[in-house]
Amino acid sequence: MSTNFMLDGQSIPFEDGQTIIQAATQAGVYIPHLCYHPEFKPHGSCKLCTVKVNGRQTASCTMRASAGMVVENNTEELNAERRALTQMLFVEGNHFCPSCEKSGNCQLQATAYHLGMMSPHYDHFFPNRPVDASHPDVLLDFNRCILCSLCVRASRDVDKKNVFALSGRGIKTHLIVNAASGHLADTNFTIDDKAAKVCPVGVILHKRNGFAVPIGERTYDKAPIGAQVEAVTEGV
Amino acid sequence: MNAPVKKKLKVATTSLAGCFGCHMSFLDIDERLFTLLEHIEFDRSPLTDIKHCSPDCDIGIIEGGLCNAENVHVLREFRANCKILIALGACAINGGLPAQRNHLPLTTILEEVYHTSPGLANGLIPNDIELPLPLNQVHPIHEVVKIDYFIPGCPPSGDAIWKVLTDLLAGREPELGHGLMHYD
């Protein structure tokens, strides 16, 4: 049974069981997000997709749509909070875009552009996070990890390998590799794994492949993030 | 009667722990510099070689982060003398390339560069009183003084710099849209 809810004054149809972000995406409305991926079970951790449902804040990737709910998404208040969350992600890791081969294809960077993030605002942590270059085909640069857990979910649910996990709590949470040595080379991870393709930032990088696409022709050089979602309904 | 001459805004610029790439990009506004010079005059800047800020500067443009004590003194002089401070480029905003040393102890770096690396037979770490002392870590400038506006990029394009300056001169809140907003 298809019914509707209101999103920023627009009537959005949904099917039973769909979350707010699923229905919005289907209707061509972009809700900023980092840990959400349409192919995986929601994690609800990055909080960027937070919307107001009937005046109360909730993650739109975990909240099921229901008939008649009134949802706010693209408001100055919510975007300011999303911008602050993004700034915190930037200062907690080491995000040096000019020397990162993911630059221009990075969802964190593109989302920051979308939110008009002109500065990191907070004091930087400059954490010490050594890279793991042990694997012949893949480099792990933990400096850029935003703990979205997409590689964890992909390796566990699709590849059935359980190569990655999030360890520790609170500010000490970090990505680990499931091997006695802690090194990616000592797992059965391969470059063809789903987990090798889902990293939204520049942590899981394919070796001998960097800077292949010139500046100006990368994904988010051509169109800002969200444009693909909004293009869904164009010409319909 | 002649119309009163409009006072030009005083603009000061400096490069701290930067590579002067942002200043080069500033010059990339090309012939628009002539239009700009109808509205501004340069005060302390590598372009004028004036050594200290006038006390009534309107805009200070800072390239680079803080890697030594002199950088901090220069930054504080700019803050004390400029009404508006702009952080220009990646290094001023997040430390940039110089901040890649931040996870290494300073003594280890100095030892390796001047003492133990091949080619320098028992070299000594420079210790002249004229040399500013390095900071333990490289810091973005907003961690030390209040910064009013930021122009990201490595370097920001001439067009991005032009957009922010013309927005400010026109009294608008500066904004960079898609294509001008870049962190790389």
Residues of B with CB under 8 A from a CB of A: 87, 90, 93-97, 99-100, 102-103, 137, 139-140, 142-143, 147, 149-152, 154, 175-176, 178-179, 181, 183-184
Average pLDDT, chain B: 95
Residues in chain A within 8 Å Cβ distance of B93: 119-120
Please, which pLDDT band fits residue B4 given cuts at 50, 70 and 90?
confident
Q: Give the lowest-confidence range in A179-183, B4-8, B70-74.
A: B4-8
Which of A38, A77, A78 is closest to A61 using CA atoms? A38
Q: pLDDT digits over A111-132, tens only?
A: 999 999 999 999 999 999 999 9
Please state, in angstroms and rounded to a whole number, the distance separating the CA atoms of residues A231 and B16. 44
Contact B140 A215 (CB under 8 A): no
Write down the pLDDT at residue B115: 86
Would you state the pLDDT for residue B1?
61
Residue A134 pLDDT level (bands cut at 50, 70, 90):
very high
Chain A closest-CA separation from residue B96 CA (Å): 6
> Do the Cβ atoms of B93 and A120 come within 8 Å?
yes
Closest CA to B182 of B148, B164, B155, B142: B155
Among the residues of chain A, which ranges form H helices? Answer: 20-26, 76-92, 107-114, 150-153, 219-222, 227-231
**CA A13 → CA A6, A36, A66, A139, A213, distances in Å?**
9, 20, 10, 42, 38
**Which stretch of DSSP H or E encloses residue B78?**
helix B69-81
Measured between CA atoms, the residue of chain B closest to residue A130 is B103
Q: For residue B114, report the phi and psi dihedrals to the nearest 5 degrees.
A: -105, -15
* Inter-chain CB proximity B183 and A109 less than 8 Å: yes
Burial class (CB in 10 A: 0-12, 13-18, 19+), B22: buried
Nearest CA in chain A to B184: A98
Residues of chain B by 3-state class (helix, strand, coil), percent to 5:
35, 20, 45
pLDDT for B62 = 98
pTM of the model: 0.95
d(CA A30, CA B45): 44
